[in-house]
Amino acid sequence: MGFGNMLPLSSQIDKTYTLHVLEKLISIPTVNPPGKDYDEMAQYLEEILATLGIKAKTVIVPEEVVAQYYPWARNYPRYIVIGKIGEGRPILHFNGHYDVVPAGHGWTKDPFKPTKENDRVYGRGASDMKGGIAAIIAMLRGLQEEGWEPSRGSIEVSFTPDEEIGGKTGVKYMLDSGLSFPDYAIVAEPSGLDRIWIGSRGLLWMNIKIYGKQAHGSAPWLGLNAFEGMVKIAYYLIEEYKKIISRRKTDLPMDDERGAHPSVTIGGEVDGGAKTNIVPGFYSFSIDRRIIPGEDIDYVEKELRDFISSKVSMLEKQGFRIEVEVTEKAPATWISEKSPFVEIISQVIERELGQLPLRTVCIGGLDTRYFQERGINAVTLGPGVLEIAHMPDEYIELNSIVRAARIYSVLAKSIDKLQHRL
């Protein structure tokens, strides 16, 4: 399907305005956990939408919903900011999350006082993903200055919390509660503008808990060493389970070919022990099992539970007690790389940047999955440098935000080429 000559022109994007917005976003330290300064961020975002003449509202996520998923965040309210241009369907939705990971160590600059050097702007969240939010706002500003409004359908934007801890009190709640249910969605995570993420791998997180018997280190025969039990389970996962899943592969195009296979990481979190001269009576370790497109998440959970059960029977005969706890589940999700929506986006990028983008599956997890799980045509496309997200001296190139805003504006103006899908 060719749209090349039918595509509208991109809006003119004010680079100075875009920089001002980005600097303000970075300077609000919305660190998660626990969810600092979300109220200040929500107020700023609603105010800036209002200055652009956009109908906007801020919704507080109910405390009981927050407590259900993240009990530790009970005293930190979560806010969702939604704005809309136009009425009716189809609805094209642009989303960005405003929470950031902690700054951590190793910075040579203040992570929450944005610094501009040449075209780079440094600060926590610059790439992941306040640069994407700045691009959405710059797109809206460009459309406003042109006086553009959709003759058919609606453009919707949302700014949500908690992507960095799973998104259940952000995009998931927004969709579950009916605050938004678009036909199409673009999530402005830092894919880079040279690729469209059509999906993402899923995940299954577990904690394996091993209970033995604590005793004095001078008489270890009186105890049952939980650490030794843990090591045996870990050995089987490394030597046997990894080989089982390494034989599986998805045919979908991946960001990294190695991500076409399932993977398992053990020991990201380890807990247990008390003192050098104590036989440990308890140990636990985490399992991070990544799921490729085509794998059923419930089957993967059963398979992993069955594998562990088959290996711990000898330990249980020795007196160990083993518990398996699932802490997070998310299926792999994707849309067709040949869908008309992806075709339009690809051709817009080709015209604006002079190159066709790759169409791949992200090896990590994204809020985009919540849209895709509900049958919404959604992709991930945003400015930024994924490789330096979460790292010290995180940065983004200002020109990439401007280019993203231009691409978004063409996509917004192309809403009449999109069909009502829901």
Mean pLDDT of the chain: 96
CA angle 392, 393, 397 (to 5 degrees): 135
Question: Would you say residue 320 has pLDDT above 70?
Answer: yes
Q: CA 218 to CA 279: how far, in whole Å?
A: 9
Give the pLDDT score at 2.
Answer: 54
Question: Residue 47, Cα to own-chain centre: how many angstroms?
Answer: 25
pLDDT tens string 44-96: 999 999 999 998 999 999 999 999 999 999 999 999 999 999 999 999 999 99
Q: What domains appear along the chain, each with residue ranges and CATH number?
A: 4-200+332-417 (3.40.630.10), 202-330 (3.30.70.360)
pLDDT tens string 126-141: 999 999 999 999 999 9
Q: What is the pTM of this model?
A: 0.93
Give the pLDDT score at 3.
Answer: 55
Give the pLDDT score at 5.
Answer: 63
Segment 193-208 shows an average pLDDT of: 97
Cβ-based neighbours of 174, under 8 Å, separated by 6 or more: 59, 80, 82, 158, 160, 180
Segment 8-24 shows an average pLDDT of: 97
Q: CA 265 to CA 302: how far, in whole Å?
A: 18
Give the pLDDT score at 4.
Answer: 56
Segment 157-173 shows an average pLDDT of: 97
Segment 280-302 shows an average pLDDT of: 98
Query: Of the given ranges (171-180, 284-293, 412-421), which has the lowest mean pLDDT?
Result: 412-421
- Dmax over CA atoms of the chain, in Å, equals 82
Give the pLDDT score at 419.
Answer: 80
What number of CA atoms fall less than 13 Å from residue 365's CA on the CB side? 20
For residue 240, the 8-state DSSP code is I
pLDDT band at 390; cut points 50, 70, 90: very high
pLDDT band at 1; cut points 50, 70, 90: very low
Segment 392-411 shows an average pLDDT of: 98
Give the pLDDT score at 40.
Answer: 98
Question: Would you say residue 105 has pLDDT above 50?
Answer: yes
pLDDT tens string 213-241: 999 999 999 999 999 999 999 999 999 99
pLDDT band at 386; cut points 50, 70, 90: confident
Q: pLDDT > 70: what percent of the chain? A: 98
Give the pLDDT score at 6.
Answer: 81
Q: CA 142 to CA 239: how far, in whole Å?
A: 56
Q: CA 204 to CA 288: how far, in whole Å?
A: 6
